[in-house]
Amino acid sequence: MSQTRLELLHDLSDRWTGERALSINKLPVSGSRREYYRITTRDGSFIGVVNEDREENEAFIAFSEHFRSKGLAVPEIYLTDLDNHAYLLEDLGDTTLFEYLIRVRQEDQFSSELTGIYKKVLSELPKFQITAGSDLNYDVCHPRSEFDRQSMQWDLSYFKYYFLKLADIPFNEQRLEDDFNRLIDYLLEQDAGYFLYRDFQSRNIMLKEGNPYFIDYQGGRQGALQYDVASLLFDSKADIPYETRELLLDHYIQVLENYMTVDAEKFRQSYYAFVLIRMMQAMGAYGFRGFYEKKAQFLQSIPYALKDLRWILGNVELPLEIPTLVEVFQNLLTSRRLKRFKAKKGRKSTLTVSISSFSYLHGIPDDPNGHGGGYVFDCRAITNPGRIEEYMGMTGKDKPVIDFLSQKRDVNEFLSNAIALVDLSIENYEERNFSHLMVSFGCTGGQHRSVYCAEKLAEHLRESQPVNVILWHREQD
């Protein structure tokens, strides 16, 4: 953290609490450019946010105050300093709905407890869309006040240029644009007089004492009800079973009937058109953050998005004719480049990937399987936290070091390229029935960078590949 940011947050903390903060720790970055810090005092903690986009800050603060006035579960804004692009808000903890889902579910099991939490979340959604949306000041929306033609064109161009182009998917640009316009025309025919949360998905829902709290609605605007439901239920990496999605959609429609008259058949018919545009917006994000910015964690969502596309094409009768777009979707499903991104569940492999970290001072690890070694990645080229005093006694498995390295662009790019090479080899090795692949990460002391990279590769493979993973930190173990 720069001294200027530290001084700013200390100043805000002093003004809010009247005392000096005991600690200010930067939280891991996500998909946005906002920076979050946990500020701890003797009486507890709160969150400091620094964001250079003033209009986005103004939208979030105005929405938060309006939602709280309606009794909705959003964080309280404690103090704002918009001239310095910062504000303080309530600390809702670290558990998102997505993290809770991953922790408690088993394979394809989606328990009644999880279903109950999702029902609780969906029961709150109309309070945002209808109750709060009825008298919201849409003039503060950023960057647009409506999910209109321009907004939809931005999302579809995002998908075209950052996913289709970067994934080398062939398409006829004029015919694809014609289908985009047909889809937009259809979506604009739907009732759109409600608050559209915009990014209503499991990572933007916090669980505190078993109850959902809602964050990251600064991109909200006026739009149709179906979009937010699609965002939650087709949140690809959450991988909700399809029969459960249908059950939850039924639940939402039933809740909606407490607020308005609903033509359930018409709602469902248009719902899947909103699912498609939401999925394309999400895939644009996977492409931009993953292919372009080299953030490997976003690429892990691709197989789940493709799985959802395959299900829609096989099970849903779309309410309009978009033949070129459907052809593009089918090309996505058969793309050789995208095949290397594979969802783990339901597949088994006899391939074992042995991952190790090591210090170059003690030499490169031997290959006990007799295959000659495999990949050796030299982490000495990336940012070294071992040179920073507060990290010297830690390793790449400690949270402060993880948070530090995860925010470094050179580290993310290095890891993304390493993971892409390993994924490519796994695909080839499986086709040839090989039994073992060795991957080693080395740095000066075998303590920080190599340990972090080995852990991240192991995490990626366990989430996205069916291989057996063995992880060994030679200098630590």
DSSP one-letter string for 108-165: TB--HHHHHHHHHHHHHHHIIIIIIGGG--GGG-SS-SB--HHHHHHHHHHHIIIIIT
The per-residue pLDDT for 324 is: 98
CB-based contacts of 417, cutoff 8 Å, min separation 6: 294
Scanning the structure block, which residue is given the tokens 């073992």?
436
Per-residue pLDDT of the chain (477 residues), as tens digits, is 444 788 999 999 999 999 889 999 888 766 678 999 999 999 999 999 999 999 999 999 999 999 999 999 999 999 999 999 999 999 999 899 998 998 887 655 788 999 999 999 999 999 999 999 999 999 999 999 999 999 999 999 999 999 999 999 999 999 999 999 999 999 999 999 999 999 999 999 999 998 999 999 999 999 999 999 999 999 988 999 999 999 999 999 999 999 999 999 999 999 999 999 999 999 999 999 888 877 767 877 899 999 999 999 999 999 999 999 999 999 999 998 787 666 555 455 678 999 999 999 999 998 877 777 789 999 999 999 999 999 999 999 999 999 899 889 899 889 988 988 998 888 788 878 888 999 999 999 999 999 999 999 998 888 777 788 999 999 987
As a whole number of angstroms, the distance between CA 463 and CA 469 comes to: 11
328 CB neighbour count, 10 Å cutoff? 21
The per-residue pLDDT for 350 is: 78
Q: Does domain 97-339 have CATH number 3.90.1200.10?
A: yes
CA distances from 149 to 134, 145, 186, 217, 329 (A): 22, 12, 11, 20, 22
* Angle subtended at Cα 278 by Cα 106 and Cα 193, rounded to the nearest 5 degrees: 120
The per-residue pLDDT for 2 is: 47
CA distances from 228 to 72, 104, 170, 304 (A): 17, 24, 30, 19
**For helices 242-256 and 264-286, angle between their N-to-C axes, nearest 10 degrees:** 120
Scanning the structure block, which residue is given the tokens 């210090």?
359
DSSP letter, residue 444: S
327 CB neighbour count, 10 Å cutoff? 16
Q: Is the model's pTM score more than 0.85?
A: no
**For helices 112-126 and 242-256, angle between their N-to-C axes, nearest 10 degrees:** 40
Residue-range domain boundaries for the chain: 3-53+72-90, 97-339, 352-473
The per-residue b/e assignment along 11-41, b for 16 or more CB within 10 angstroms, e otherwise, is ebbeebbeeebeebebeebebeebbbbbbeb
CB-based contacts of 12, cutoff 8 Å, min separation 6: 48, 79, 81, 86, 87, 88
As a whole number of angstroms, the distance between CA 331 and CA 312 comes to: 15
